[in-house]
Amino acid sequence: MKNQTKVKVQRKKYIRVPQTEKMKLKYLFSIAALILFISSCENDTKPLNKDQSINGVVAGHDAHSYSNTDEIRTKHLDLELDVDFEKKTIYGIARHQMERLKDTDTAIFDINGPEIQKVTLGKKGQEKETDFIIGTMQEFIGQPLSIKIDKNTEYINIYYKTTENAGALDWMEPELTEGKKHPYLYTQGQAILTRTWIPVQGTPANRITYSADVTVPVELLALMSASNPQVKNPEGKYHFEMKQPIPVYLIALAVGNLEYKSLGKNCGVYTEPEMIDKAVWEFEDLPKMIRAAENLYGPYQWEQYDVIVLPYSFPFGGMENPRLTFANPTLIAGDRSAVSVIAHELAHSWSGNLVTNASWNDFWLNEGFTVYFENRIMEELYGKEVADMLSLIEFQELQTEMAQLDQEDTHLKLKLSKRNPDDGMTSVAYVKGAFLLKTLERDFGRQRFDAFLKRYFKDHAFQTLTTEQFKTYLEKNLINKTDIKFNVDEWLYKPGLPKNCYAVSSPRFEKIQALAREFANGKDIFKKPAKKKGKKQLPALSRDQYVPQEWQAFIRALPKKMDPERLAIVDEKLHFNNWGNAEVATEWYVLAINSNYTEIRPDIEKFISKVGRRKFLLPIYTALNDNPQSKQWGLEIYKKYRNNYHPVSIATMDDLLDYKP
């Protein structure tokens, strides 16, 4: 996932239940059976009520899952889903094929919202109802669904429907889509939201294959993170297969009025018809990216790589759902200036999807590797100068965010027990992780380090990994093969950035930053330069003389507050106020808010009424909230457009603004 931005909030704690508590479940099932027997006589298959529920056991290997995958685990999931837009409900059956690892009479799943209607054991058509208990709700992780099984249980079938508490689902009215005629639905599973729409064993340590049969309105196309159709089915029925094992947070669904166009032999783009031509042009280099990635670190192992451009409410820049990257339409900047996000999501096909963090404490293994890999792809396609500018932008963001975080949260290896795993999705995991790899590359040499990474992806393909396992592998296969000393523990387990951190520089950034300082000091930087004798007349400063990343550096080099009249001059000459590049626009809007440049408010409102990407919403609403002259206006704007955003963005903004609807 690209471009997470976090806000620090106070959260409630939950109580970890001792592992020994799990042993008590078998004694409680006799009570549950009696209650379920009585309720079945009344044709009511509802689970135990709140007073009768019990606490589950948080899995010892993962503080964010109750599942007992060390005893019995899902190895294949077959879904039957009926998508009802009128009721904003998915009616589902989750058929889990299990692998028993130890003797147990209980299989525990994670849920956080689905209404469980009944549970059966056995193959489809040969099912027998069984007892189940839903445990006490705990913040962030939801509830344990404990199911009674017998020694021969191989199939567990969970009948359920989603509720309004499904935080993964974004049901969109037609007016919020590009075409304005059809509704739209998409999911966002990372980190632990898949359990809000599918009962699963929710730890990333367990990889599964899955299949699905999905029914949707006939005028819409359904897609998943699996093998996908390219045209609509006249009956609205679709079958999907994901034959490579993946963690459940990568199960994804999108349903809308969609069109597909190929970009190459194994890649293409889906989006609404109104955006398809723009998307095809913007992502034209995708086949080159795939070739560059394969040349670096080995074959792409997912057969097809497609991108779906979702509606603007999607809370992230991209999400690496295998075979089908979910992308925010802010990537369609009109000048291909935001395609590094696509390079990032493609890189996840190796780091994150192929080799996955075993828990959310190890999240940097997903994102640090991916940011490094993304930068190598960008260097291969567009040159080192561009890649270095992209790295500098991210490094500046890392330095800013680290200054606001608790010291412990600047470690690569995190401690997220009793916390929302989203708290670990900061630039530390992304950029500090990437700069660890950049530092290793510098110290051990690119050729040797590339060989190490290529072998790393091959040796751990379709596996999960902890930070400690990575450290052992790194020392054995790279560090200990040389006489070079490297401070691995400091990078992994200590706060901040070590002194040996790789330093990236950019002469082009230095030039544009000098220009910003001149403007801040009152110089007319837009005046046409005087013509020198015998030389060609140089043009006046214009926006197309620099790339968007340079203009980001320009804005960041300006004072945090400026005379609004000076900012109006920039808008008159460079039109930052309505640029298609959302990265530059966001930087500009924040400076404008801090400077009380109120003439730009209509442009800000237009932007945040449409864009739901959390990376952009958070700094804008933060600036509005922190400025007494704009705080009330910001709150009114938020209330006006709040329902345009995904639940992920809504939760962050509600916390930031202390808003309670």
369 is in an annotated binding site: no
Q: Residue 137 annotated as binding?
A: no
pLDDT in tens, 163-208: 999 999 999 999 999 999 999 999 999 999 999 999 999 999 999 9
* pLDDT at residue 381 tops 50: yes
Find the length of the chain. 661
Q: Say what angle helices 433-444 and 446-459 make with each other, to 10 degrees.
A: 130
Cα–Cα dist 329/324, whole Å: 15
- Whether the predicted pLDDT of 14 surpasses 60: no
3-state secondary structure of 54: coil
- Answer positive or negative: Cα dihedral of 313, 316, 318, 322: negative
Q: Which helix (H) or strand (E) holds 606?
A: helix 601-610
Smallest CA-to-CA distance from 164 within 89, 253, 255 is with: 89
Task: Give every strand in the sheet of 143-148, ordered side by side.
Answer: 106-111, 143-148, 132-134
Residue 318 is labelled as binding a ligand: yes
Q: Tokens 């759902």: give the residue.
A: 321
pLDDT tens-digit map of 565-599: 999 999 999 999 888 899 999 999 999 999 999 99
Q: DSSP characters for 315-363?
A: SSSEE--TTEEEE-GGG--SSSTTTHHHHHHHHTTTBTTTEEESSGGGT
**pLDDT tens readout for residues 63-109:** 999 999 999 999 999 999 999 999 999 999 999 999 999 999 999 99
Indicate the pLDDT class of residue 252, thresholds 50, 70 and 90: very high
The answer to whether the annotation marks 21 as part of a ligand binding site is no
Proportion of the chain above pLDDT 90, given as a percent: 87
State the pLDDT at residue 127: 97
Q: Is the peptide bond before 191 cis (omega within 30 degrees of 0)?
A: yes
The structural domains of the chain, ordered by start, are 19-257 (2.60.40.1730), 350-493 (1.10.390.10), 507-657 (1.25.40.320)
Q: How far apart are CA 365 and CA 352, in angstroms?
A: 7
Asked whether residue 348 is marked as a ligand-binding residue, the answer is: yes
Q: State the pairing for strand pair 207-215/221-224.
A: unpaired
Cβ-based burial of 131 (10 A; exposed 0-12, middle 13-18, buried ≥19): buried
Q: Which of 107, 143, 116 is nearest to 17 (CA)?
A: 143
Q: Tell me what pLDDT residue 579 has.
A: 84
Angle made by CA atoms 159, 80, 648, in degrees to the nearest 5: 80
Q: Establish whether 56 is an annotated binding residue.
A: no
Q: SS3 for 470-531, per residue?
A: HHHHHHHHCHHHCCCCCCHHHHHHCCCCCCCCCCCCCHHHHHHHHHHHHHHCCCCCCCCCCC
Does residue 12 carry a pLDDT above 60?
Answer: no
Is 182 annotated among the ligand-binding residues? no
127 annotated as a binding-site residue: no
Q: Catalytic residue positions?
A: 345, 430
Average pLDDT over residues 531-547: 83
344 is in an annotated binding site: yes
pLDDT at 577 (0 to 100):
85
What is the predicted pLDDT for the residue at 3?
58
Which pTM was predicted? 0.89
Q: Is the pLDDT of residue 33 over 90?
A: no
Q: Above 70 in pLDDT, residue 325?
A: yes
Q: What is the mean pLDDT of the chain?
A: 90
